[in-house]
Structure 1
Amino acid sequence: MSLPAQPLHVVPVVSVLYGDASELNKSLVKLKNMLGNPVLVSESFPFDMTDYYEPEMGRNLVRTWFCFPLRDPSELPDWKLACISIEETAGGEGSRRANLDPGYLDHGKLVLASCKEAPDKIYLRDGVWAHTCLRYRSGSFYGPDHSFADFIDGRFNSFFIEVKRLYRKLLREQ
């Protein structure tokens, strides 16, 4: 029989989608206040698999990932609600200047928070769902069929393998 247990801490991650680097810097200041100083930052990846955000945020968008010190995964809804607030204060006239998607990485997966219900998402609380976007198996991350196109194509794989190595190191130091 299994008994309830506390989860291991996770590496909080935040994807920042933006067109103007000044918006990235503004978002980072607020993220630091929420989660601490980043422990790892990705390169900027082109956001070129959809034009979904183009009417609101313009063209030539890029995505940068920030990883933060270990936290309890039960805080994920709080991170999502805080990121929504950051987006709202940074936006102008009903549009966002940056799209912030918080989540976490653990030994086997990358989970992002969402305010959209879907069959593959699990409700947490306060209008926030958990969405498993990548799974780790046999030395690589892969995107399930229901994930986003830029997750499925593998462009983030090397970065998240590096995050996974960092995660193991941070757990040992805890």
Structure 2
Amino acid sequence: MGAVRSLNPVKLFVGVLVSDRKLLPPIEARLTEAYGPVDHRSPVVPFDFTDYYEADMGDIIDRMFLSFERLIEADQLPEIKRQTNQLEQEMAALLPIVKRPVNLDPGYIEHAKVILASTKNFYHRIYLGGGIFGEVTMHFKNNTYHFFPWTYPDYQSRDYQEFFLRIRQIYRSQLRTMCILNRPTGEE
């Protein structure tokens, strides 16, 4: 019989899509109020990988990622997704420029994988509870991230990879400081 173990804490990040770059500072302020200080942010880059969001967000969309200093328990992700959905709704009510001025995609990094939260079910997602699904979107092996057929094209870009590799380094350093880096991780 397998032994039940607790999971190491994980590193929260939020992918932020905006229809106007002026929204980034107030969104970051709200997210830091909820999840603590940001320890790394990606450059802001044009989101031009798909036209999926154009009907709701307009045709000029920018992307930024934030990672948070405070580690979380993995089972907090569904609640965080519900909270970020609420923030999206609040921003839409305040800024009716477009139907959806902001899209927030929380997820977390652990040693061997990147997990995204979603409200949408699909064959490669598992139900986490409270209307939220989880997706392993990338896995880490041989010092780099590897993709699945369902990994979003933007997550495969060099800019995004640099962000995720950097926050993985920060995460591992945090675990070393907490003296828990050597627990079993599932990393190959």
Q: Would you call these one fold, judging by a TM-score over 0.5?
A: yes
Deviation at 1:49, TM superposition (A): 1.2
Task: Give the conservation status (yes or no) of the 8 Å contact 1:145–1:152.
Answer: no
Aligned-partner residue type, residue 168 of structure 1: R
Deviation at 1:154, TM superposition (A): 4.1
Task: Give the TM-score, by structure 1 length.
Answer: 0.94
Task: Give the conservation status (yes or no) of the 8 Å contact 2:108–2:115.
Answer: yes
Aligned to 1:129: 133
Aligned to 1:160: 164
Q: Deviations over 1:62-103 (max 9, x none)?
A: 110100121111100011000000000000458211100001
Aligned to 1:48: 48
Task: Say which SS state the counterpart of residue 29 (structure 1) adopts.
Answer: helix
Task: Give the conservation status (yes or no) of the 8 Å contact 2:21–2:62.
Answer: no
Counterparts of 1:167 and 1:63, CA distance in 2: 22
The more displaced of 16-25 and 78-87 is: 16-25
Aligned to 2:184: none
Counterparts of 2:72 and 2:82, CA distance in 1: 16
C-alpha RMSD of matched pairs (Å): 1.4
Structure 1 stretches of at least 4 aligned residues deviating more than 6 Å after TM superposition: none
Q: Is 1:27 equivalent to 2:31 in the alignment?
A: no
Q: Deviations over 1:41-63 (max 9, x none)?
A: 11113211111111211122111
Task: Give the conservation status (yes or no) of the 8 Å contact 2:116–2:135.
Answer: yes
Task: Give the conservation status (yes or no) of the 8 Å contact 1:24–1:98.
Answer: no
Task: Give the conservation status (yes or no) of the 8 Å contact 1:16–1:65.
Answer: yes
**Whose Rg is larger?**
2
Q: Which runs of 5+ in 2 are unaligned?
A: 179-188
Aligned-partner residue type, residue 142 of structure 2: S
Task: Say which SS state the counterpart of residue 39 (structure 1) adopts.
Answer: strand
Counterparts of 1:172 and 1:139, CA distance in 2: 18
Aligned to 2:13: 13
- The number of equivalent residue pairs is 174
Aligned-partner residue type, residue 161 of structure 1: L
